[in-house]
Amino acid sequence: MIVRSPLAMLPGHVSVIPEALSKAAPSLVALLHDPSLHLRSMAITSLAVIALRASPYYQIAVNAISPLTLDRNPAVAKRARTALRSLADRSFELPKLWVKK
């Protein structure tokens, strides 16, 4: 998990590279089903960041993240709700720790 966790965060941070998005998004969607709550959380974060930076991925992110609002882990469910709120309401910013600039 130590190696996989940074890999789940990386796509969101490199979302400014358009060529990376077509490969990153499907991988992140798959990580949303990982047994690790940490990986699910990081995948939510990266998908939200990608969707905010690249509008073609908005609906993919919303559809993929939405079921996690009912995740068995309260922290993952809260992260999913926060991500969806930021996608629906552009005046609501993602928490500062989620986004590397």
Torsions phi, psi for 11 (to 5 deg): -60, -35
Please write the tens of the pLDDT for every residue from 14-55.
Answer: 555 667 777 788 888 999 999 999 889 989 998 998 898 888
How many domains is the chain built from? Answer: 1
The answer to whether residues 47 and 67 touch, using CB atoms and an 8 Å cutoff, is no
The answer to whether residues 61 and 50 touch, using CB atoms and an 8 Å cutoff, is yes
Assign 89 to helix, strand or coil.
Answer: coil
Reported pTM = 0.81
Which residue range(s) make up the domain with 61? 4-98
The answer to whether residues 44 and 9 touch, using CB atoms and an 8 Å cutoff, is no
Give me the half-sphere count of Cα atoms (radius 13 Å) on the Cβ side of residue 96. 0
What's the CATH number where 58 sits?
1.25.10.10
